[in-house]
Amino acid sequence: MSRAETMTGDHPLRTVILTALLMGVMLFAVVGLDYLLRADTFPVRNVSFEGEFKRVHQRQLAEAVTEQASGNFFALDLEAVRRAAEAVPWVHRSTVRRRWPDGVHIHFTEQQLAARWGDTAWVNSDGELADLRGQAGPAGLIRLDGPPGSQAEVLAQWRRLEPIVAAHALGIARLRLTPRYTWEIELNNNLLLVAGRGAPERKLARFIGVYRHTVAGQAARIRHVDLRYTNGFAVEWNARAAGAPATEINEG
Protein backbone atom coordinates (compact mmCIF):
# COMPACT_ATOMS: atom_id res chain seq x y z
CA MET A 1 0.00 0.00 0.00
CA SER A 2 1.36 3.40 -0.94
CA ARG A 3 1.85 6.31 1.47
CA ALA A 4 -0.95 8.19 -0.24
CA GLU A 5 -3.33 5.28 0.25
CA THR A 6 -2.41 5.05 3.99
CA MET A 7 -3.11 8.77 4.59
CA THR A 8 -6.38 8.52 2.72
CA GLY A 9 -7.44 5.53 4.78
CA ASP A 10 -6.56 7.25 8.12
CA HIS A 11 -8.53 10.42 7.37
CA PRO A 12 -12.03 9.12 8.27
CA LEU A 13 -10.70 7.71 11.53
CA ARG A 14 -9.18 11.02 12.57
CA THR A 15 -12.45 12.75 11.71
CA VAL A 16 -14.40 10.36 13.93
CA ILE A 17 -11.96 10.81 16.80
CA LEU A 18 -12.00 14.62 16.56
CA THR A 19 -15.79 14.66 16.34
CA ALA A 20 -16.07 12.46 19.42
CA LEU A 21 -13.64 14.66 21.35
CA LEU A 22 -15.54 17.80 20.35
CA MET A 23 -18.85 16.29 21.39
CA GLY A 24 -17.33 15.22 24.69
CA VAL A 25 -16.04 18.73 25.37
CA MET A 26 -19.42 20.23 24.51
CA LEU A 27 -21.23 17.73 26.72
CA PHE A 28 -18.85 18.47 29.57
CA ALA A 29 -19.41 22.21 29.10
CA VAL A 30 -23.20 21.83 29.09
CA VAL A 31 -23.19 19.63 32.18
CA GLY A 32 -20.77 21.97 33.93
CA LEU A 33 -22.80 25.05 33.05
CA ASP A 34 -25.99 23.38 34.19
CA TYR A 35 -24.39 22.55 37.50
CA LEU A 36 -22.92 26.04 37.85
CA LEU A 37 -26.27 27.76 37.28
CA ARG A 38 -28.50 25.59 39.42
CA ALA A 39 -30.37 27.55 42.08
CA ASP A 40 -28.98 25.35 44.83
CA THR A 41 -25.41 25.70 43.56
CA PHE A 42 -23.59 28.87 44.63
CA PRO A 43 -26.75 30.41 46.14
CA VAL A 44 -26.85 34.08 47.12
CA ARG A 45 -26.70 34.16 50.92
CA ASN A 46 -26.06 37.79 51.70
CA VAL A 47 -27.42 41.14 50.46
CA SER A 48 -25.63 44.26 51.69
CA PHE A 49 -26.51 47.93 51.28
CA GLU A 50 -24.49 51.12 51.08
CA GLY A 51 -26.13 54.52 51.36
CA GLU A 52 -27.64 56.96 53.83
CA PHE A 53 -30.82 55.66 55.41
CA LYS A 54 -32.53 58.96 56.11
CA ARG A 55 -35.76 58.71 54.13
CA VAL A 56 -35.25 55.19 52.81
CA HIS A 57 -36.10 52.39 55.25
CA GLN A 58 -33.62 49.52 55.15
CA ARG A 59 -36.24 46.89 55.86
CA GLN A 60 -38.43 48.14 53.03
CA LEU A 61 -35.48 48.16 50.63
CA ALA A 62 -34.44 44.66 51.66
CA GLU A 63 -37.95 43.32 51.18
CA ALA A 64 -38.22 44.96 47.76
CA VAL A 65 -35.11 43.23 46.37
CA THR A 66 -35.48 39.85 48.10
CA GLU A 67 -37.06 38.04 45.15
CA GLN A 68 -34.70 39.43 42.52
CA ALA A 69 -31.55 39.15 44.66
CA SER A 70 -31.94 35.43 45.35
CA GLY A 71 -31.06 32.21 43.58
CA ASN A 72 -27.81 31.40 41.83
CA PHE A 73 -24.91 33.80 42.29
CA PHE A 74 -23.83 33.64 38.63
CA ALA A 75 -27.32 33.69 37.11
CA LEU A 76 -28.41 36.77 39.06
CA ASP A 77 -30.12 39.47 36.96
CA LEU A 78 -28.39 42.59 38.25
CA GLU A 79 -30.58 44.90 36.16
CA ALA A 80 -33.74 43.42 37.70
CA VAL A 81 -32.29 43.96 41.18
CA ARG A 82 -31.52 47.59 40.30
CA ARG A 83 -35.07 48.21 39.06
CA ALA A 84 -36.51 46.67 42.21
CA ALA A 85 -34.33 48.89 44.40
CA GLU A 86 -35.23 52.06 42.50
CA ALA A 87 -38.95 51.29 42.84
CA VAL A 88 -38.66 51.90 46.59
CA PRO A 89 -39.89 55.36 47.69
CA TRP A 90 -37.07 57.88 48.12
CA VAL A 91 -34.47 55.79 46.27
CA HIS A 92 -32.99 57.90 43.49
CA ARG A 93 -30.24 55.82 41.88
CA SER A 94 -28.76 52.43 42.64
CA THR A 95 -25.90 50.27 41.41
CA VAL A 96 -25.76 46.52 41.97
CA ARG A 97 -22.79 44.16 41.82
CA ARG A 98 -21.93 40.65 42.84
CA ARG A 99 -19.69 40.23 45.86
CA TRP A 100 -17.78 36.95 45.83
CA PRO A 101 -18.49 34.28 46.88
CA ASP A 102 -22.21 34.54 47.75
CA GLY A 103 -23.21 38.17 48.13
CA VAL A 104 -24.98 41.01 46.37
CA HIS A 105 -24.02 44.61 47.14
CA ILE A 106 -26.43 47.48 46.45
CA HIS A 107 -25.26 51.07 46.58
CA PHE A 108 -28.04 53.68 46.50
CA THR A 109 -28.59 57.41 46.78
CA GLU A 110 -31.70 59.05 48.18
CA GLN A 111 -33.84 61.56 46.35
CA GLN A 112 -32.86 65.18 47.03
CA LEU A 113 -36.10 67.06 46.48
CA ALA A 114 -35.86 70.63 45.23
CA ALA A 115 -39.51 71.57 44.73
CA ARG A 116 -43.11 70.51 44.60
CA TRP A 117 -44.51 69.93 41.13
CA GLY A 118 -48.19 70.68 40.85
CA ASP A 119 -50.48 69.34 43.54
CA THR A 120 -49.07 65.87 44.07
CA ALA A 121 -45.64 65.43 42.43
CA TRP A 122 -42.08 66.44 43.27
CA VAL A 123 -38.97 67.53 41.42
CA ASN A 124 -35.51 66.44 42.54
CA SER A 125 -32.32 68.47 42.35
CA ASP A 126 -31.56 67.04 38.88
CA GLY A 127 -34.82 68.39 37.49
CA GLU A 128 -36.43 64.95 37.34
CA LEU A 129 -39.88 64.02 38.55
CA ALA A 130 -39.60 62.04 41.77
CA ASP A 131 -42.27 59.46 42.51
CA LEU A 132 -42.62 59.01 46.27
CA ARG A 133 -45.31 56.32 45.82
CA GLY A 134 -47.85 58.21 47.87
CA GLN A 135 -45.50 59.19 50.70
CA ALA A 136 -45.47 62.77 51.96
CA GLY A 137 -42.62 65.03 50.98
CA PRO A 138 -41.01 67.77 53.06
CA ALA A 139 -42.88 70.97 53.81
CA GLY A 140 -41.74 74.43 52.79
CA LEU A 141 -40.45 73.73 49.27
CA ILE A 142 -41.10 76.04 46.34
CA ARG A 143 -44.20 75.20 44.28
CA LEU A 144 -43.50 74.82 40.55
CA ASP A 145 -46.02 74.31 37.76
CA GLY A 146 -45.74 73.86 34.04
CA PRO A 147 -46.68 71.82 31.00
CA PRO A 148 -45.78 68.11 31.08
CA GLY A 149 -42.04 67.56 30.71
CA SER A 150 -41.07 71.15 31.55
CA GLN A 151 -40.01 70.55 35.15
CA ALA A 152 -36.26 70.86 34.46
CA GLU A 153 -36.79 74.17 32.63
CA VAL A 154 -39.00 75.59 35.40
CA LEU A 155 -36.57 74.48 38.12
CA ALA A 156 -33.65 76.09 36.31
CA GLN A 157 -35.63 79.32 35.90
CA TRP A 158 -36.48 79.39 39.60
CA ARG A 159 -32.79 79.01 40.46
CA ARG A 160 -32.07 82.09 38.35
CA LEU A 161 -34.92 84.15 39.79
CA GLU A 162 -34.67 83.32 43.49
CA PRO A 163 -31.38 85.21 44.14
CA ILE A 164 -32.92 88.35 42.64
CA VAL A 165 -35.69 88.53 45.24
CA ALA A 166 -33.59 87.08 48.06
CA ALA A 167 -31.31 90.10 47.85
CA HIS A 168 -34.34 92.18 48.91
CA ALA A 169 -35.45 89.87 51.75
CA LEU A 170 -38.20 88.33 49.63
CA GLY A 171 -38.75 84.81 48.35
CA ILE A 172 -40.62 83.03 45.59
CA ALA A 173 -43.49 80.88 46.81
CA ARG A 174 -44.59 79.68 43.38
CA LEU A 175 -43.30 79.81 39.82
CA ARG A 176 -45.60 78.83 36.96
CA LEU A 177 -44.97 78.30 33.28
CA THR A 178 -48.43 78.53 31.71
CA PRO A 179 -49.67 76.33 28.83
CA ARG A 180 -48.92 79.33 26.59
CA TYR A 181 -45.34 79.37 27.92
CA THR A 182 -45.60 82.66 29.79
CA TRP A 183 -44.14 83.09 33.27
CA GLU A 184 -46.03 83.90 36.47
CA ILE A 185 -44.16 84.54 39.72
CA GLU A 186 -45.84 84.52 43.12
CA LEU A 187 -43.78 86.05 45.92
CA ASN A 188 -43.94 84.87 49.51
CA ASN A 189 -46.05 87.92 50.40
CA ASN A 190 -48.76 86.66 47.96
CA LEU A 191 -47.88 89.26 45.34
CA LEU A 192 -48.44 87.82 41.85
CA LEU A 193 -46.17 89.03 39.06
CA VAL A 194 -47.00 88.38 35.40
CA ALA A 195 -43.71 88.31 33.49
CA GLY A 196 -44.94 87.07 30.11
CA ARG A 197 -42.58 85.42 27.63
CA GLY A 198 -38.83 85.71 27.61
CA ALA A 199 -36.29 87.32 29.94
CA PRO A 200 -38.19 87.05 33.24
CA GLU A 201 -34.94 87.68 35.13
CA ARG A 202 -34.54 91.15 33.62
CA LYS A 203 -38.18 92.05 34.24
CA LEU A 204 -38.11 90.80 37.81
CA ALA A 205 -34.85 92.60 38.62
CA ARG A 206 -36.25 95.85 37.23
CA PHE A 207 -39.40 95.54 39.33
CA ILE A 208 -37.64 94.52 42.54
CA GLY A 209 -35.32 97.49 42.17
CA VAL A 210 -38.23 99.92 42.64
CA TYR A 211 -40.57 97.72 44.67
CA ARG A 212 -39.74 99.22 48.08
CA HIS A 213 -40.59 102.79 47.13
CA THR A 214 -43.59 102.04 44.89
CA VAL A 215 -46.03 99.29 45.88
CA ALA A 216 -44.41 97.49 48.82
CA GLY A 217 -46.76 99.00 51.36
CA GLN A 218 -49.85 98.11 49.34
CA ALA A 219 -49.06 94.52 48.39
CA ALA A 220 -52.15 93.17 50.19
CA ARG A 221 -54.43 95.27 47.95
CA ILE A 222 -52.87 94.15 44.66
CA ARG A 223 -54.41 91.45 42.48
CA HIS A 224 -51.37 91.20 40.25
CA VAL A 225 -48.54 93.23 38.75
CA ASP A 226 -47.98 93.10 35.00
CA LEU A 227 -44.28 93.35 34.16
CA ARG A 228 -44.75 93.15 30.38
CA TYR A 229 -43.86 96.79 29.82
CA THR A 230 -40.67 98.24 28.41
CA ASN A 231 -40.10 100.97 31.01
CA GLY A 232 -42.50 100.17 33.85
CA PHE A 233 -45.29 97.94 35.09
CA ALA A 234 -49.04 97.98 35.59
CA VAL A 235 -50.82 97.25 38.87
CA GLU A 236 -54.28 95.72 38.98
CA TRP A 237 -55.90 96.30 42.37
CA ASN A 238 -58.18 93.91 44.21
CA ALA A 239 -60.92 96.55 44.04
CA ARG A 240 -60.89 96.62 40.22
CA ALA A 241 -64.24 94.79 40.10
CA ALA A 242 -65.73 97.70 42.05
CA GLY A 243 -64.44 100.21 39.55
CA ALA A 244 -60.86 100.90 40.59
CA PRO A 245 -58.68 101.43 37.49
CA ALA A 246 -55.39 99.73 36.84
CA THR A 247 -52.37 101.87 37.68
CA GLU A 248 -49.38 102.18 35.38
CA ILE A 249 -46.05 103.03 37.01
CA ASN A 250 -43.19 104.27 34.88
CA GLU A 251 -39.76 103.32 36.18
CA GLY A 252 -37.70 105.72 34.44
pLDDT at residue 4 above 70? no
pLDDT at 161: 97
pLDDT at residue 237 above 70? yes
pLDDT at residue 1 above 60? no
Total-model pTM: 0.78
pLDDT at 15: 76
pLDDT at 181: 95
| Helix (H), strand (E), coil (C) string for the chain | CCHHHHHHHHHHHHHHHHHHHHHHHHHHHHHHHHHHCCCCCCECCEEEEECCCCCCCHHHHHHHHCCCCCCECCCCCHHHHHHHHHCCCCEEEEEEEEECCCEEEEEEEECCEEEEECCCEEEECCCCEECCCCCCCCCCCEEEECCCCCHHHHHHHHHHHHHHHHCCCCCEEEEEECCCCCEEEEECCCCEEEEECCCHHHHHHHHHHHHCCCCHHHHHHEEEEECCCCCEEEEEEHHHHHCCCCEEEECC
pLDDT at residue 24 above 70? no
pLDDT at 198: 85
pLDDT at 5: 47
pLDDT at 71: 87
pLDDT at 16: 66
Mean per-residue pLDDT, 170-186? 97
pLDDT at 63: 96
Q: Regarding predicted confidence, which is higher, 12 or 171? A: 171
**pLDDT grade for 247, boundaries at 50, 70 and 90:** low
pLDDT at residue 173 above 70? yes
Spatial contact of 36 and 94, defined as CB atoms under 8 Å apart = no
**pLDDT tens digits, 81-123:** 999 999 999 999 999 999 999 999 999 999 999 999 999 899 9
**Could you tell me the sign of the dihedral formed by the alpha carbons of 199, 203, 206, 211, in that order?**
negative
Instruction: Give the range among 39-43, 65-69, 246-250 with minimum mean pLDDT.
Output: 246-250
pLDDT at 166: 95
**pLDDT tens digits, 184-202:** 999 999 999 999 998 899 9
pLDDT at 241: 42
pLDDT at residue 126 above 70? yes
Instruction: Give the range among 39-53, 158-172, 201-215 with minimum mean pLDDT.
Output: 39-53
d(CA 116, CA 97): 33
Spatial neighbors of 246 by CB under 8 A, at least 6 apart, are 234, 235, 236, 237, 240
Q: How many CB atoms within 10 Å of residue 10?
A: 10
**pLDDT grade for 28, boundaries at 50, 70 and 90:** very low
pLDDT at residue 30 above 80? no
Spatial neighbors of 12 by CB under 8 A, at least 6 apart, are none
